[in-house]
Structure 1
Amino acid sequence: MKTTACISLLLLLLPGGCDKATKPEYVVCPPESEYSISYLKSLCDGKSSVAITQDITVYGFVTANDLYGEYDRMIVVEDGSDGIAIAIDHTPLADLFPFGYIATVRCNGLTLYDYGGKILLGTAPGDDGIGRIPRDELARYIHADPPAGEARPVERLTFDAVSARHIDTRVCFEGVHFTEAGSWCDTDPETHRTVTTERQIADAQGRTFTVRTAGTCTYAKEPVPQGTGSLYGIIDYFAGKYTLRVTNREAFFATAATPPTACL
């Protein structure tokens, strides 16, 4: 977190022949508004929701969006301290906030919301939870720029190492396999629509972890990869349970199926 105001003494050396004497000039720097995502989320500790009324700006990589339908009307932004999911009432979001871009999020006027122990960012909550930032107000709060050579964050983890500090951050599980064959998502027998589904992966020690895939995912009906490989995604959390949500279709297996098609 950066909070220190500064007063700079600038010695302006004027060129020869100028009729103004060289003199010191004092410039008062405005308070910095850049904060870490970890600090931002801490404002909601112990509260169901908090309206942000101070100038807080956070920066981070876009590590999840709706390119493959994996996150519906939501992106995840992550800096070196933490990550946070941001609810937005617009699709598609991948065009505005591509995976790996650097997002600048101006939080004054937005609301933090505790959803089952996970902190979300959006607008004032309604009857169905956190409100989504309207499309016509997006430019006021968020924009994204290409990275200037920075590497996207990822932490390689074992299942037993997952903790609260990993919520909404990008991780990789290596040397894992799905415990059962089948599609990423089940299909509702009445509506014939794919529904959000949980599958199990296991590591070489036989430990298991849950992979949660949204029914909106474009590869929902594709078979899960067979064999052993690596899964990249965001650690999700609700009411005491951690899950992995694969992002940017990053599933790399020795015998993986044909990569699915992204949303247009």
Structure 2
Amino acid sequence: MKTTARIKRLLLTARAVSAAMAAALALTLPACDKSSEPRFGNEGGEEATSTIARLKSLCTGECTPVTADITVGGVVTANNLYGEFHKTLVIQDESGGICIAVDGAELYVDYPVGAAVTVYCNGLTLCDYGGKVQLGTTPADAYGAGRIPRAELGRYLRVSGDGENPLRPAALTFGEIGPRHIDTYVYFNGVHFAETGNWCDTDPETGRPVTTERLLADGTGRTLPVRTSGTCTYATEPVPQGTGSIYGVIDYFNGKYTLRVTNREIDFATGAGLPTAYP
């Protein structure tokens, strides 16, 4: 009888241990699964490990693959809402800005201007195109960084804020533009277009707008080209007349600075109304 009772006690103890182990395993497995999944943005409380300026300094040739776990954080300052930045996002932090090449349309839906984003750079490539560093994939041609496939963009770029970050463009004069301003959000006051015409010229063969530069002038007679993509929704509209302010991102290629208007931000004494959002 004593032996039978002892066996029963042992069986009950074994069952209790098994139940405890099963409960512990049930609690542990989800944690293991979660830790093995990639995390983006602020979900895991991860902060940027580099500034944009530091990231750009790692580009030591025409193309430099990023092989370390580097993350940068910034705010979207330009996208393709009005077709101004075709298949391109521009982000900026306090140290500078950088453009990201993406093979996708309607980027403004997921990455609106003002959205805080985290970029996971490992696996991407830094490319020096005409003296300006871009971020994307290994180039397939001689026209800068390759575009990140839209389906893979979530691996590298994730919105990490509420999309309501105040954008504070730097007030510049034409004479102040320098390397640190490349791909940064700026504005100019008291300027006017030194020529008339549409934002973009038209290809005589196809009738389609083509990327065009129009000279912007200040009160001293200095000028700065405004470069407008042929994909822009207001490409066939006339440039505004009068004097006022214009906002955009500084571009650079082979020693030449240009301004690219972002989000159709133009405040002139007279001017055309805002176009319909793209597309």
Q: How far apart, in 2, do the equivalents of 1:76 and 1:247 lie?
A: 10
User: Is 1:115–2:129 an aligned residue pair?
Assistant: yes
| Alpha carbons 2:114, 2:164 under 8 Å: kept | no
Highest Rg: 1 or 2?
2
Is residue 59 of structure 1 aligned with residue 43 of structure 2? no
Unaligned runs of 5+ in 1: 1-30
CA distance in 2 between counterparts of 1:62 and 1:113 reads 20
Secondary structure in 1 matching 2:54: helix
Partner of 1:161: 176
CA RMSD of aligned residues (A): 1.4
C-alpha displacement of 1:147: 4.4
The amino acid of 1:86's aligned partner reads: I
Kindly state the Cα deviation for residue 32 of structure 1 after the two structures are TM-superposed.
6.9
Deviation at 1:160, TM superposition (A): 0.3
SS in 2 for 1:83: strand
Give 1:13-52 correspondences, 5 Å limit. Answer: 34-45=49-60, 47-52=61-66
The count of residues paired between Structure 1 and Structure 2 equals: 233
Provide the rounded CA distance (Å) in 2 between the counterparts of 1:191 and 1:245: 24
- The one-letter amino acid paired with 1:57 is T
List, as ranges, runs of 4+ consecutive aligned residues in structure 1 with deviation greater than 6 Å.
none
SS of aligned partner of 1:177: strand
Aligned residue for 2:215?
Answer: 200
Q: Which has the higher helix share?
A: 2
Distance in 2 (CA, whole Å) between partners of 1:206 and 1:192 is 33
> Match of 2:229, as an amino acid?
A
- 1:182 corresponds to: 197
Q: Using a 3 Å threshold, how does the CA distance of structure 1 residues 59 and 190 change in structure 2: closer, same or farther?
A: same
- Structure 1 residues 194-217: Cα deviation after superposition (integer angstroms, max 9, x where no partner): 000000011111111110000000
Indicate the structure with greater strand content. Answer: 1
Please list, as runs of the form range in 1=range in 2, the aligned pairs for 1:217-236 lying within 5 A after superposition: 217-236=232-251
Deviation at 1:148, TM superposition (A): 7.3
Compared CA separation, residues 149 and 247, structure 1 to 2 (3 A): closer
SS of corresponding position for 2:108: coil
Q: Among the aligned pairs, what percent are the same residue?
A: 58
Letter of the 1:64 partner, please give it: A
Give the alignment's TM-score, normalised by structure 1: 0.85
Q: Distance in 2 between matches of 1:191 and 1:42?
A: 41
Amino acid at match of 2:271: A
- Give 1:149 deviation, angstroms: 5.9
Structure-2 residue corresponding to 1:257: 272
Contact between 1:235 and 1:245, CA under 8 Å: does it hold in 2?
yes
Q: Is the 8 A contact 2:246 2:267 kept in 1?
A: yes
Aligned position for 2:104: 90
Q: Alignment partner for residue 92 of structure 2, among 53, 71, 78?
A: 78
Choose the corresponding residue for 2:188, options 155, 167, 173: 173
CA deviation string 1:84-142 (max 9, x = no partner):
00000110110011011111100000000000000000011112442111111111100
Query: 2:80·2:88 contact (CA, 8 Å) conserved in 1?
Result: yes
Instruction: Write the distance in 2 (CA, Å) between the matches of 1:82 and 1:56.
Output: 16
Q: Matches of 1:193 and 1:149 in 2, distance apart?
A: 35
Partner of 2:20: none
Deviations 1:133-160 (A, max 9, x none): 1111111100114447642131000000
Unaligned stretches of 5+ in structure 2? 1-45
- Which amino acid is the alignment partner of residue 59 of structure 2? C
TM-score normalised by the chain length of structure 2 = 0.81
How much has 1:57 moved relative to structure 2? Answer: 0.5
